Structure 1
Amino acid sequence: MSFEPAVHLDDLPDVGAVQVVINDQPVSVVRAEDGSIHAIDDVCSHAEVSLSEGEVEDCTIECWLHGSRFDLRTGQPTALPATQPVDVYPVRIEGDVVHVDVTAPLNAPTAGSDAAATTSKEH
């Protein structure tokens, strides 16, 4: 795995997302309502707009343009019009920095169908 520093925890909203670019890949780093941290592809699979500008509710993020909603743990769309998932990336927190690995999406076909994004802390 190739974790890269993405964002300081203090720069994340209490509930919401920020866009970062890691290895030329736009990524939404998201703090869900339960405080968990997730990283997903920042481009909506339906309209190709930034998901980080959307509203976070429970453990989903909404595309601001047409209302598609994606599960932050699986990348699966939970509301139309999107029908294709977005990539979900592994997240690791070191100190006060969120690190993301964009080289191996958790929901890639080779990763298994039950893969889910999780937050882990290392001190």
Structure 2
Amino acid sequence: MSEEFYKAAELRDLREGKLYPVEVDGEPVCLVKLEGIVYAFTDNCTHISGPLNQGDFDGCAVTCPWHGARFDVRSGKVLRGPARQDIYTYPVKVEGEDIYIGLPPEEE
């Protein structure tokens, strides 16, 4: 089964390099536009669920405001602890001015 896509935002909502928090089907998601490409990732740090949208964003890395864990928003990979688990990244589709993200199917 593949993911279902939900509208998350419009392109005009995003500014280059600025974190943009949204909720999609009850999931906290953070969007960011980098060199014209939109990336989507979970808005919860894997350490203790710090709000990543309130952290610093530099280059392609977001830093959790609580304990300084860093993640690459393109891949979700941990760049610096204390987090050990990568953050979840979502597939993104842009259709016209609308941004859609794919959520995994719900477990039965």
TM-score range, shorter chain: 0.7 to 0.9
Distance 2:27 2:50 in 1: 14
Name stretches of at least 5 consecutive residues in structure 1 with no aligned partner. 105-123
TM-score between both structures, scaled by the size of structure 1:
0.77
> Which residue does the alignment assign to 1:10?
12
Instruction: Show structure 1 runs of 4+ deviating over 3 A.
Output: none
The alpha-carbon deviation at position 35 of structure 1 amounts to 2.8
**Alignment length, in residue pairs?**
103
**Bigger strand fraction:** 2
CA RMSD of aligned residues (A): 1.4
The alpha-carbon deviation at position 47 of structure 1 amounts to 2.5
Deviations 1:65-110 (A, max 9, x none): 2111111122111011111111110000011111001216xxxxxx
Higher relative contact order, chain-length normalized (CA < 8 Å, sep 6+): 2
Which residue identity is paired with 2:44? V
Distance 1:45 1:75 in 2: 10
Distance 1:37 1:62 in 2: 18
The alpha-carbon deviation at position 55 of structure 1 amounts to 1.9
The alpha-carbon deviation at position 14 of structure 1 amounts to 2.0
Map 1:41-60 → 2, pairs under 5 A: 41-60=42-61
Deviations 1:29-66 (A, max 9, x none): 1122x232100011000121211112222222111121
